[in-house]
């Protein structure tokens, strides 16, 4: 896969939070970790990163938890990928080689570069809310 496990969990968590907090409520870490099938401590680190990057919000105290406001809902999914895997996530070698470039290509370099660019363009146009709404509508699924 192209993204790290933490990135995959981060995308799933943001979508879940978007769905669960549409009504202004907050969602706790236990529920998020359970829903995305991720260890709680690992989920906590992921959520801290997303909060620091302004992708999700959190509030402490009774009734506290994680949520996404209407501004954050519009954040493109690529921002989550950049927060978790860095700005160069789409420049990695498709075979995982350390040295892969135009001058020193791996066997799938050109095809993978084209695929990677198309995926990047897609994720620049899809927001967290877009993905959440496709799940709410029943057109897509986030769990098995």
In a domain, 49, yes or no: yes
More confident residue, 26 or 144: 26
What is the pLDDT, as a whole number, of residue 132?
Answer: 93
Q: Is 75 inside a domain boundary?
A: yes
Domain that holds residue 48: 5-85+127-136
Q: Is residue 56 domain-resident?
A: yes
Decide if 112 is inside a domain: no
- What is the model's pTM? 0.90
Determine the average pLDDT of the residues in 92-107.
90
Whether 93 is covered by a domain: the verdict is no
Q: What is the DSSP string of 54-120?
A: TSSEEE-STT-EEE--HHHHTSBHHHHHHHHH-TTGGGS-TT--SS--SSS--TTHHHHHHHHHHHH
48 is a domain residue: yes
CATH code at 43? 1.10.10.10
Which candidate, 98, 81, 101, 97, places its Cα nearest to that of 89?
A: 81
CA-nearest of 59, 57, 65, 60 to 33 is 65
pLDDT above 70: residue 1: no
Residue 109: which of 125, 127, 128, 96 has the closest Cα?
96
Tokens at residue 108, please? Answer: 């799938």
Instruction: Provide the pLDDT for residue 73.
Output: 78
13, pLDDT greater than 90: yes
Structure-block tokens of residue 142: 């986030």
Note whether 22 and 112 are within 8 A (CB): no
Q: Stretch 12-38: mean pLDDT, rounded? A: 94
Task: Kindly tell me if the per-residue pLDDT of 18 is higher than 80.
Answer: yes
Domain count, the chain: 1
The encoded tokens of residue 70 equal: 């209407």
- The tens digit of pLDDT for each residue in 101-138 reads 899 999 999 999 999 999 999 999 999 999 999 999 98
Does the residue 115 lie in any domain?
A: no
Note whether residue 108 is domain-resident.
no
User: Residue length, the chain?
Assistant: 144
């Amino acid at each position: 896969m192209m993204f790290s496990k933490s990135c995959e969990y981060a995308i799933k968590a943001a979508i879940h939070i978007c769905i669960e907090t549409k009504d202004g409520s907050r969602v706790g870490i236990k529920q998020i970790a359970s829903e995305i099938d991720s260890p709680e401590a690992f989920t906590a680190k992921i959520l801290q990163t997303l909060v620091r990057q302004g992708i999700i919000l959190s509030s402490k105290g009774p009734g506290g938890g994680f949520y996404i406001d209407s501004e954050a809902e519009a954040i493109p999914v690529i921002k989550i990928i950049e927060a978790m895997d860095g700005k160069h996530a789409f420049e990695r070698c498709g075979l995982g080689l350390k040295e892969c470039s135009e001058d020193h290509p791996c066997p799938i370099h050109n095809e993978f570069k084209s695929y990677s660019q198309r995926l990047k363009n897609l994720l620049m146009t899809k927001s967290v809310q877009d993905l959440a709404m496709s799940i709410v509508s029943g057109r897509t699924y986030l769990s098995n």
